[in-house]
Structures are given as C-alpha cells and as structure tokens.
C-alpha cells in the first residue's frame, strides 16, 4: 500500500550525490545484458575479467585523474607520462642494464616528480591547470623521442613473468596488473573517505575560496593531488609495459581523454567537489564493455568506440548539469 505521497513505505529516494554513480551502474548492467543477449559467449564471467585485464593500466591512471578532477583541476599529461614511463623502463632495462628493483622506484619517482612540479606551477604561479598540464604533455612526449624514436622491446625476466603470470580463481583468471590496479583503487578510496587529505580534496573542489578562508592547506593539497596523478600515471605506464612488453613514444596516445571520460562517466563532477572512485571503476568498465561489444560484433569499426563514448559524455555532462541546477534551487 502506497503512502499519500505516492511512494512505497520504507523506500527512500537515493541521495542526489549518488545518482550519477547509480546511472553508470545501470548503464553498465544494460550494456552487459544487451551483449549477453546478442552474443552467446558474452555471458561468460571471463569476459568481464578480461575487461579488467585489458584496462588495468587505464584504471590506475583514471584513479589518479579522479583526485585531480575532484579539486576542480585537470591533468592532460597523463598519457604522455605513461608513454615516458614505458620508454624509461625499456631503455634502462634493455640498454642500460638496470635491475628491475631499481627501475621500478625510479620511474615511479619521475612520474610523481613531474606531477609535483606541475602542481607547484599551477598553485604558486596561478596558471590554469589546462595550460600547465598541456605543457607537461608536450614535455613528456618529447622526452620519449630523446630516448628513442622507435619501439624498444622488453625481454627482462621479471617483466615477461609479470606479463605471462595469471592469478587464478578456479576456472577464471586475471593478470597481476589487475590486482595492482584494485589495490590502488582501494587505497585511493580509503584516502578520499577516511583521511584529512581526502576531506581537503573535496572541500577545495567544492569551493576553493571557502576552503582557504577555513584555513585548509589548499597549496599542499593541490600539489599533492597532482603528485598522486603523476605517480598513478607512472604506475599505469609500468602496467602498460607489462601488457605490451615494449616502450614506445606513441604508446597511450589519447589515454588522457579516455581517463577523463571514465571519470566523468563514473559520476565525478568536472567542477570538482563530488564523485567517488567506485564510479571511476564503473566508468572504466563501461568503456571496456563498449570495446568488447564492438569486438564481438566484428563488423563495426573501432572508431565506433569513440562515437559511443562521445555520446555518453554528452549524456552524463547534461545529467551533472541537471543535478547541479536542482541542488542550487
């Protein structure tokens, strides 16, 4: 029996801040259902696990991007930092003879350092993040070609073992990179929801001026989130080098746009202050399922992936606008 308001007793309307994430989850369920109905093999659980395997590096990069966008910023350098990381890793391993335990911390430090430098420039010189990270994008991509203009194959035993290893769950499996990506998401979600850095990140994105008046460490927080994004980009580059077993200056071209798309489709507001890492995970899954459906179809060009992603971005940006307008009333 319904109440006078027309609602079922005991049922509560979801809070407005959860609506974008719920919309992404619903979209993912519908897309998976359509794929399962049209293609018999699509319902196999390994298909979804393969989406994680093929997009583990993107998930890590998108996690770092989520921190930046939550502050109201943007990072266009992530794809180039990924490529630079693959080139540095390949060059140091194959040409310089560095051991893997030295290469890994070095390339992660370089990525974090680039993010830290961009964060400092953005805050202390009050330059728009778009311009600073655009410069960082060109810088990192250019550094790739100072190392080599061609692809460098990686034959290091540790790298090849990471590329070929499988973490099994009965008849199903994932790659070690997926475990790394999920750990990054869990740690990132904990930081955002249970630490001072996370609370400051949301506060700065919601209203930077108010955050400053409240005495919050705006400078430290802003610089830290760009350092986190740089670190995640470098880690994503390491995972991509596991996946490709090579370093190349043309790796990850356009990945910054895929990361932004995943974050926005996952429900994080481009203006900052609202969003969740679980939404970013769902956004990456949506992109991966789109690619998988197109692969199963076999008759569609891969460019349809970009067309569908573009359409979804329009829809989710409009959804954010509607929710923001209602909140302002």
Q: What is the token pair recorded at 325?
A: 């307008």
Rounded Cα gap, residues 115 and 291, in angstroms:
30
Which two tokens mark 88? Answer: 């540095």
> What integer pLDDT is reported at residue 326 of this predicted model?
57
CA dist 305 and 119 (Å) reads: 32
Q: Is 36 exposed, middle or buried (0-12, 13-18, 19+ CB in 10 A)?
A: middle
Q: CB neighbours of 67 closer than 8 A, spacing ≥ 6?
A: 188, 192, 201, 225, 228, 229
User: In this predicted structure, what is the pLDDT of residue 3?
Assistant: 43
- % helix, strand, coil for the chain, step of 5: 75, 5, 25
pLDDT for 311 equals: 87
Q: What is the DSSP string of 26-51?
A: HHHHHHHHHHHHH-GGGGSHHHHHHH
Angle value at C-alpha 291, between 230 and 253, nearest 5 degrees: 35
Place of tokens 């992936």: 305
Residue 212 has a pLDDT of 82
Which neighbouring-strand residues pair with 167?
174
Domains defined for the chain, CATH in brackets: 16-324 (1.10.3470)
* Whole-structure pTM value: 0.92
- The model's pLDDT over 136-164, given as tens digits with 9 standing for 90+, comes to 999 999 999 999 999 999 999 999 999 99
Cβ-Cβ contacts under 8 Å for 74 (sequence gap 6 or more): 68, 129, 130, 133, 260
Residue 40 confidence (pLDDT): 85
Query: Whole-angstrom Cα distance, residue 96 to residue 274?
Result: 45
Residue with tokens 């961009």: 118
Report the alpha-carbon distance of residue 141 to residue 78 in Å, rounded.
10
Quick one: which of 235, 256, 259, 258 has its CA closest to 86?
Answer: 235
Mean pLDDT by runs of 10 across the 329 residues of the chain is 43 67 91 90 90 97 97 96 98 95 97 98 94 97 96 96 93 95 97 95 85 87 97 98 96 95 92 92 94 85 82 82 61
Q: Structure tokens of 320?
A: 């954010």
pLDDT of the residue at 322: 73
Residues 6+ apart with CB under 8 A from 52: 59, 174, 178, 181, 285, 288
CB atoms within 10 A of CB 189: 18
> Which sign, positive or negative, has the C-alpha torsion 274, 277, 279, 285?
positive
Which structure tokens are listed for 168?
């099994």
The tens digit of pLDDT for each residue in 278-295 reads 999 999 999 999 999 988
Angle at 178 between CA 267 and CA 235, to 5 degrees: 80
d(CA 205, CA 192): 13
């Amino acid at each position: 029996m319904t109440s006078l308001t027309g609602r079922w007793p005991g049922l509560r309307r979801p809070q407005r801040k959860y609506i974008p994430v719920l919309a992404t989850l619903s979209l993912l369920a519908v897309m998976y259902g359509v794929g399962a109905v049209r293609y018999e093999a699509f319902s196999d659980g390994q298909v979804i696990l393969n989406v994680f395997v093929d997009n583990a590096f993107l998930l890590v990069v998108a996690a770092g991007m989520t921190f930046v966008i939550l502050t109201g910023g943007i990072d266009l350098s992530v794809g180039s930092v990924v490529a630079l990381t693959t080139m540095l890793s390949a060059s140091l391993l194959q040409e310089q003879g560095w051991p893997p335990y030295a290469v890994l911390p070095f390339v992660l430090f370089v990525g974090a350092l680039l993010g830290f430098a961009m964060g400092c420039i953005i805050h202390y010189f009050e330059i728009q993040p778009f311009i600073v990270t655009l410069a960082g994008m060109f810088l990192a991509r250019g550094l790739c070609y100072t190392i080599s203009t061609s692809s460098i194959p990686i034959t290091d035993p540790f790298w090849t073992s990471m590329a070929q290893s499988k973490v099994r769950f009965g008849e199903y499996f994932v790659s070690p990179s997926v475990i790394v990506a999920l750990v990054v998401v869990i740690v990132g979600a904990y930081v955002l929801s249970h630490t001072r850095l996370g609370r400051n990140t949301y506060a700065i994105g919601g209203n930077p001026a108010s955050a400053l008046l409240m005495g919050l460490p705006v400078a430290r927080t802003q610089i830290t989130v760009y350092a986190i994004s740089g670190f995640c980009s470098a880690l994503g580059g390491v995972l991509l080098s596991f996946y490709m077993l090579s370093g190349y200056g043309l790796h990850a071209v356009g990945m910054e746009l895929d990361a932004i798309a995943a974050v926005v489709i996952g429900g994080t507001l481009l203006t900052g202050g609202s969003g969740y890492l679980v939404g970013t995970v769902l956004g990456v899954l949506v992109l991966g399922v789109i690619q998988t459906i197109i692969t199963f179809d076999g008759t569609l060009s891969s460019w349809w992936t970009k067309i569908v992603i573009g359409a979804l971005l329009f829809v989710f940006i409009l959804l954010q606008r509607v929710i923001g307008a209602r909140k302002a009333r």
